[in-house]
């Protein structure tokens, strides 16, 4: 098989891994204000993804890097044409990362609320814009004969693309709710299951509408089978969730996202960047790197990808236990007043220094980072 086709498939696999794994991260973030009625409940929700969210984002970096190396023309056209939406996604992801890392560092309700707002925004915005971006790849974008994007930001916001954004939002909400039902126990598990039931029905209707539109207007014959698989999986989520089979519901929710990616990339092929005018489309063959580059990349992937899969699988196995609010200890973060005093000195003009040393007695479940002690050094 042509290596360019192999790498087109591998990039689809990388995007599948990212959307399946980061999809429930987005779902948890979007559900934070709904299921997290109290601070300890919100901390519980964050702790369900605490050990894995950063590893899940590696799939995005790998997909972007693989696209750059295997299809430089595709990378250049995609990132220049979708510059503004991708920049918005990147900024919201950065804000979300900062909120995850520093939420537990300061024991202050206002600080926690601001971090929660950043997590919520950093989940809703990418979830919507990823769907918009992929829907445009199915529909085709405005390219000239030199494969340069000639449209604007608002040309990407067609009704078809916006419906695609609603598809990813509804799928990720369902995926996140099912994941929380799988990872929590007690009252939180019951509430997550109820929400998963509601969202799975909504996702079925929205996804069916978009998939039929895509299939009739832009796709090829064989992808009808993919649409049927996606529909069966979504209906399976509704049934298994109602029966309390969260494990099967999560598997079927994941397979729904897999089917969606197959539909997207299957509709695109043999193009990597379809154009409104098919003559200007960027194809797998004219966008790929040299055979030598693709050969080297293939050997690197053969060696490293299994290592990454084994490590990430081990991480999920280690943190497989269900959590409840009883597992969440009291906050060990510094008070906001103490942080200001340590950073800027006390009101009497005494200099201050924040000693960031690890407290070996601290409960590691209290935050995502190491516990810290603030120590004031007074100078004469």
Return the pLDDT at 380.
Answer: 35
Structural domain including 371 reads 330-380
Same domain, 378 and 362: yes
Same domain, 124 and 266: yes
Q: Are 147 and 121 in contact (CB under 8 A)?
A: no
Same domain, 208 and 316: yes
Same domain, 336 and 313: no
Same domain, 276 and 339: no
Same domain, 368 and 277: no
Return the pLDDT at 68.
Answer: 92
Same domain, 160 and 247: yes
- Identify any residues that bridge with 273 across adjacent strands, giving them in sequence order: 282
Residues in CB range of 8: below 8 A, 6 or more apart: 71, 265, 269, 272, 284
Closest of 136, 204, 201 to residue 164, by C-alpha = 136
Count of the separate structural domains present in the chain:
2
Same domain, 108 and 155: yes
pTM of the model: 0.86
Please state, in angstroms and rounded to a whole number, the distance separating the CA atoms of residues 282 and 267: 14
Same domain, 271 and 334: no
Same domain, 150 and 82: yes
3-state DSSP assignment of residue 370? coil
- Which positions of the chain have pLDDT values less than 70? 1, 331-380
Please state, in angstroms and rounded to a whole number, the distance separating the CA atoms of residues 4 and 289: 8
CA distances from 74 to 123, 341, 358 (A): 26, 51, 46
Same domain, 373 and 280: no
Return the pLDDT at 232.
Answer: 94
Burial class (CB in 10 A: 0-12, 13-18, 19+), 243: exposed
Return the pLDDT at 153.
Answer: 84
Q: Give the rounded percent of residues in the chain with a pLDDT score beyond 70.
A: 87
Please state, in angstroms and rounded to a whole number, the distance separating the CA atoms of residues 99 and 34: 18
Same domain, 364 and 235: no
Q: Are 118 and 101 in contact (CB under 8 A)?
A: no
Please state, in angstroms and rounded to a whole number, the distance separating the CA atoms of residues 127 and 31: 13
Return the pLDDT at 296.
Answer: 93
Return the pLDDT at 19.
Answer: 96
Residue where a domain stops, chosen among 305, 327, 349: 327
Return the pLDDT at 2.
Answer: 86
Return the pLDDT at 87.
Answer: 94
């Amino acid at each position: 098989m042509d290596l360019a086709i192999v790498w087109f498939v591998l990039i689809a696999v990388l995007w599948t891994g990212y959307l399946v794994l980061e999809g429930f991260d987005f779902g948890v973030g979007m559900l934070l204000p709904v299921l997290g009625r109290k601070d300890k409940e919100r901390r519980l929700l964050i702790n369900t993804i605490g050990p894995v969210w950063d590893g899940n984002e590696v799939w995005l970096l790998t997909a972007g890097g693989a696209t750059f190396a295997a299809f430089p023309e595709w990378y250049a056209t995609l990132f220049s044409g979708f510059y503004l939406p991708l920049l918005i996604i990147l900024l919201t992801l950065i804000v979300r990362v900062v909120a995850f890392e520093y939420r537990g560092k300061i024991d202050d309700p206002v600080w926690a609320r601001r971090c929660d707002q950043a997590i919520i925004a950093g989940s809703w915005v990418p979830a919507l814009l990823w769907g918009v971006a992929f829907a445009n790849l199915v529909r085709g974008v405005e390219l000239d004969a030199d494969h340069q994007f000639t449209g604007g930001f608002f040309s990407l916001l067609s009704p078809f693309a916006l419906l695609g954004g609603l598809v990813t939002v509804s799928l990720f909400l369902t995926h996140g709710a099912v994941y929380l039902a799988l990872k929590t126990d007690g009252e939180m598990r019951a509430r997550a299951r109820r929400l998963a039931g509601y969202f799975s029905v909504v996702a079925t209707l929205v996804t069916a509408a978009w998939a039929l539109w895509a299939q009739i207007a832009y796709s090829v014959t064989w992808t009808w089978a993919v649409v049927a698989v996606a529909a069966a999986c979504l209906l399976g989520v509704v049934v298994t969730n109602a029966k309390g089979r969260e494990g099967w519901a999560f598997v079927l929710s994941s397979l729904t996202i897999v089917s969606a990616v197959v539909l997207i990339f299957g509709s695109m092929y043999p193009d990597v960047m379809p154009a409104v005018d098919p003559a200007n489309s960027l194809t797998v063959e004219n966008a790929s790197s040299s055979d030598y580059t693709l050969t080297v990349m293939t050997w690197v992937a053969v060696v490293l990808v299994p290592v990454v899969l084994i490590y990430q699988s081990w991480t999920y196995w280690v943190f497989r236990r269900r959590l409840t609010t009883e597992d969440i200890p009291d906050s060990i973060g510094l008070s906001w007043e103490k942080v200001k005093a340590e950073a800027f000195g006390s009101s009497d003009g005494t200099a201050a220094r924040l000693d960031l040393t690890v407290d070996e007695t601290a409960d590691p479940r209290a935050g995502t980072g190491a516990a810290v002690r603030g120590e004031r050094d007074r100078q004469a």
